[in-house]
Amino acid sequence: MAQDPDFPRWLQQITATGGCAHPVHLSGSTTTLDGSTGEILHHYDTRDEPGERLLVRCRNRRASICPACSRLHAGDTFHLVRAGLIGGKNVPTTVRTRPRLFVTLTAPSFGPVHRAGPTCRPRRGGGACEHGRPLGCGTVHAPDAPAVGQPFCPDCYDYTGHVLWHAHASKLWDRFVIDVRRRLATSAGVVQSRFARHARLSFARIAEYQKRAAVHVHAVVRLDGPGGPTDEPPPWGTPDRLTRAVHASAQRVTVRTPYSPAVGELELSWGTQTDVRALHADGPDDDAVAAYVAKYVTKGTDETGAGTDHKVTTRDDINTAPVSRHVRTLMHACWDLGHLPEYAHLRLRTWTHTLGYRGHILTKSRAYSTTYAALRAERAHHLGHTDIPDAITDAHWRYVGSGHTPGAALIAAGVAEDLADCRRLSAEASQQGGGVDNSSAQA
């Protein structure tokens, strides 16, 4: 490869993708014309490129699939969450004085599972379930012990409830947000339907798989005035009132599953372990919260042990997936329930690899802060791809492939590692007062 006359340009392309492990190959051209004179200001055509193609990032968020793009995604997530907490990226810095909460909502119990230390599940008098399995466990499990998160009795464990809860978790969240708004309105003496004229509730939430392979939700929730981030909330919009509303809504909201002759109708709710933490203005928590969220979004389902990174298409895929017995049983439950016509809209077979949970790892309301698209546009701008006013752009692009040959993959991985080292060194230098700008290196 290195002997190829095109190699230097190819290496430039790889470096421009940050050493992306699975770049998308595009073929085509972009022509920028002056709107009034028709003069060609800029022309780019992949015909002059190595292999007549341009490589662009895969943008996968999972470190197990693309280390380079997942790092970039984590950085963007950090800035996105942080901007909603303390401002920046076109969000006013006054948001840091608003009522802001870091909320954790869990899934309910679907049956006892082994827990990491202290003593797993002490139980005086022992006892066994109807399948003869003990109801208690006196072991102190290490956090990474294989037993942690596994049910005491797979036959007692409610796999159907677990999967259906995942399939409705996003709906449960939507109901929760609506209910918080209603509660705030009622407690402030405002007509519920007029809440939007007084205040606005914004959030960014992530879904995280716990050891028992149930999703729980971490969210930043912020209360603004009706105009969103630029607007002060009304005097009644205090952190205390918001906290009370969040606790009450987390306890009360429910979603009913559609009736199924096989399963019946389930009423789904959040678990009892709700955690609500008020974030104080200029407190030390903001960066920690943003970093925590950013770190999580790069984890693939492989890495968390809950499901797989790739969709499954057959029952055999489930049998051979490198997962625990508990997760495999969840995948089977998901696959089997996906066969029932009353659950067709939940697309459980398509989402078997995520154990029925649909939807994104990070979800945010429109007014929370900036967007991934805006952050990418800002980065393109820094790289010199500026928009020229009054210019007309004519572009034709075609997907021609993806990925690397084995040799190219090695070189790309090397480029990605070099860039990561540079970023780490620059972060260290600036921590030691070296004065290097590491605004994108914190995550």
> Which listed residue (139, 187, 371, 430) binds Zn ion by CB under 5 A?
139
Residue 410 corresponds to which amino acid? L
Closest approach, Cβ 102 to Zn ion, in A, equals: 30
Residue 74 to residue 360: CA distance in whole angstroms: 14
Report if residue 155 touches Zn ion, rule: CB under 5 A.
Answer: yes
Report if residue 153 touches Zn ion, rule: CB under 5 A.
Answer: yes
Work out the widest C-alpha separation in the chain, in whole angstroms. 90
Alpha carbon 196 to chain centroid, angstroms: 27
Residue 286 to residue 292: CA distance in whole angstroms: 10
Report if residue 114 touches Zn ion, rule: CB under 5 A.
Answer: yes
Stretch binding Zn ion (CB under 5 A), from 54-62, 344-352, 356-364, 418-426: 54-62
Report if residue 339 touches Zn ion, rule: CB under 5 A.
Answer: no
Stretch binding Zn ion (CB under 5 A), from 129-137, 236-244, 294-302, 347-355: 129-137
Residues 6+ apart with CB under 8 A from 210: 106, 107, 149, 216
Report if residue 58 touches Zn ion, rule: CB under 5 A.
Answer: yes
Report if residue 16 touches Zn ion, rule: CB under 5 A.
Answer: no
Alpha carbon 280 to chain centroid, angstroms: 24
Phi, psi dihedral angles at 49 (to 5 degrees): -90, 160
Toward Zn ion, which CB reaches closer, 371 or 402? 402
> Which listed residue (120, 204, 214, 334) binds Zn ion by CB under 5 A?
120
Toward Zn ion, which CB reaches closer, 130 or 390? 130
Per-residue binding string, Zn ion, 286-315, x by CB under 5 A, is ------------------------------
- Angle at the Cα of 432 (from 427 to 435), degrees rounded to 5? 70
The token pair that represents 90 in the structure block? 């076109």
Q: Which of residues 62-81 bind Zn ion (CB under 5 A)?
A: 66, 69
Report if residue 55 touches Zn ion, rule: CB under 5 A.
Answer: no
SS (H, E, C) 255-290: EECCCECCCECCEECCCCCCEEEECCCCCCHHHHHH
Report if residue 129 touches Zn ion, rule: CB under 5 A.
Answer: yes
Stretch binding Zn ion (CB under 5 A), from 150-158, 279-287, 294-302, 328-336: 150-158
Stretch binding Zn ion (CB under 5 A), from 137-145, 319-327, 360-368, 399-407: 137-145
Stretch binding Zn ion (CB under 5 A), from 138-146, 159-167, 381-389, 414-422: 138-146
DSSP assignment of 132-201 equals: S-BS-B---B-TT-TTTT-BS-TTTS-HHHHHHHHHHHHHHHHHHHHHHHHHHHHHHT--GGGHHHH-EE
Report the interface residues with Zn ion, using CB under 5 A: 20, 57-58, 66, 69, 114, 120, 129, 131, 137, 139, 153, 155-156
